[in-house]
Structure 1
């Protein structure tokens, strides 16, 4: 048994042994992500979907997404996908600048990104999402404007755009430490963010979350579930799960993950959440969405003390037009979206 075959076997076994995790809740969305699920073949997908159908049932499933890189979305691979119930494709394009793609160690170029989207459309997929990044090393406003223009020419149904973060242990972080790349400053990133929102809004996209835009009715149902606090189960190495009470995540080591599943001793960690942690999670997941934070829900779950604290901390942001209170909801304004991280940090309840 090769490594991929062993992983698929372990994944299906984990789905079986964790049948009770969602407590009988109907499965509404499925997301194949976290790496390169596009290396799977028809036989692999067949095993996974058979397991899902047999253990959980798929009659209530509304959205099934596959995450893929542009270079993997060939005509043949999409032909394979069309034999399964996928109805959404998420493509990690990142940028259309070929020089930047090389610096980021990506295997595709801009031309391949266009071919990938065209292949998806020809294969009958009518819900296509693309991912972009901004704040790339030495990126200029002109480069970002070009990326947005190129992206809009694809007419995607959904677009996610994230500001690049330099994470410890990554090659890009090491390059930054060695002064081989130069990070964009906060003012530049703010201008990128403003341009992003203005450009996509004018093009008819709804900004339903800080980093996510869609055509009407094309929001990501799977990601929205995270922000709404709906329980979910993640299977595979490093996968995270939430049952409404606690969070847990599988070990990141592939060999440890495989051996744990094989011996019926799954390697995972659990986080029990105290009241402050639960309150903070509600703030972070709610404020970042267009709907905003339900103050009634906040009071019902956490009591008047937390509601009073939240409104007190929000007051100065409401006075300077970065937050607004509309009926039951506390929402970011357009002005507030650009400084949302700072606002959310101030609303959090920190132990002293």
Structure 2
């Protein structure tokens, strides 16, 4: 099975922490939707022998589109690809787009379901007003709660995003955020540490002393609070930043981590076919011009055996599926396996990694550190 990711490169306003590709000008929105549909059609031969299991609208802010725009893109996928009987169709949405007026809310949820959307990923980030203002989110705390009150009446499969490690956020306040999320009985939570990326407003605010820099030790404490609380409430910690109830894991994201093929549509979107990775240009105007000329504005990188091994190590350590020693030996060879085992020794000794029936996994203590651990397991020049 394979997936299609559709990047919607527009937002109402820029969040201070975000370094994804987007524009706050909506002047070319209609032209962009038609270009996205055209790219979907242009690339149909890439999945000629594959069946699409997931369609994911990410961004940017997909909920900024009209229902007719979303329907057009879904219909275009169905017209050009083989699609499984009941695909997971996810749309990322912001609370302010889901909660303008009472009548609109109800119609919007019904219309999304009517065109095939069956999973919502809602960017709550926090239920506290001061946090949302610090992040420069477009919604407020009341909208965050109101949109969930209505969304849960119409959708069963809902994920929400939360951010931890905020400057001056106590463990108690973070726990309140988690408990508020749990009160809505959502079956999936994605949670990320506040990260300071270059060329973001957050970076500038920290440099000028207007905001304190996030502290790693605070983020680590918040992470453990999150893991403990969600575990108590029946969530499975199936990927470093993702927690789901049984049967509610994200099929789209799980496919990425398990190395399945996917096509990324739109400016800045990435694609993977098992042996190479490609990415579209992160420029709306150039993207539109290229698609109008029936050209794909993308670059491609052929992945070496080292690259594929390193990606498997990274994704394996982040998930409950771990790193299979048998798979490493079969796909990459004995030298790679011996290197992996040698590099793992110190982390096993420090109780950060452990072996479970030939599967290498992080311990509870090692989970928060798994990205750093993975970098020490990477291999640069064995080929």
TM-score by length of 2: 0.88
> Is residue 334 of structure 2 the alignment partner of residue 309 of structure 1?
no
In structure 1, the residue matched to 2:102 is none
Aligned residue number for residue 82 of structure 1:
113
The CA distance in 1 between the partners of 2:190 and 2:304, in whole Å, is 32
Counterparts of 2:60 and 2:184 in 1: how far apart (Å)? 24
In 1, the alpha carbon distance for the partners of 2:144 and 2:87 equals: 27
Shift of 1:110: 1.7
Give yes or no for the alignment of 1:97 onto 2:128.
Answer: yes
RMSD between superposed Cα atoms in Å: 1.6
Q: 1:95 Cα deviation (Å)?
A: 1.0
- Number of matched residues? 351
Higher strand share: 2
Aligned 1:1-352 pairs, distance under 5 A: 3-74=28-99, 75=105, 76-122=107-153, 124-351=154-381
**Structure 1 residue 93 displacement after superposition:** 0.6
Q: Which shows bigger deviation, 137-146 or 311-320?
A: 137-146
Counterpart CA distance in 2 for 1:5 and 1:190 is: 43
TM-superposed deviation, 1:59: 3.5
- C-alpha separation in 2, matches of 1:216 and 1:80: 27
Aligned-pair CA distance for 1:281: 0.5
* Counterpart-to-counterpart distance in 1, 2:331 and 2:84: 32
Please say if residues 37 and 72 of structure 2, whose CA atoms lie closer than 8 Å, have aligned partners that are also in contact: yes
Q: CA deviation at 1:338?
A: 2.5
Q: How much does 1:351 deviate?
A: 4.3
Distance 2:248 2:352 in 1: 27
SS at match of 2:182: helix
- Supply the distance in 2 between the matched residues of 1:322 and 1:224 (Cα, whole angstroms): 23
CA distance in 2, matches of 1:342, 1:17: 39
Name the structure, 1 or 2, with higher relative contact order (CA <8 Å, separation 6+).
2
Q: Which stretches in structure 1 are left out of the alignment for 5+ residues?
A: none
**Which has the higher mean CA deviation after the structures are superposed, 320-329 or 152-161?**
320-329
SS in 2 for 1:335: coil
**Structure 1: how far apart are the matches of 2:380 and 2:177?**
39
| 2:167/2:215 contact within 8 Å kept | no
Secondary structure of 2:123's counterpart equals strand
Tell me the TM-score normalized by structure 1. 0.96
Displacement of 1:22 in angstroms is 2.5
The separation in 2 between residues aligned to 1:247 and 1:185, in whole angstroms, is 34
Give the 3-state SS of the residue equivalent to 1:62 in structure 2: strand
Following the alignment from structure 1 to structure 2, what is the Cα–Cα distance between the partners of residues 296 and 61?
Answer: 33
> Could you list the runs of 5+ residues in structure 2 that have no partner in the other structure?
1-26, 100-104
Give 3-state SS (helix, strand or coil) of 2:263's partner.
coil
CA contact (8 A) 2:264 2:270 kept: yes
Q: Which moved more, 1:338-347 or 1:86-95?
A: 338-347
CA distance in structure 1 between the aligned counterparts of 2:71 and 2:371, rounded to whole angstroms: 42
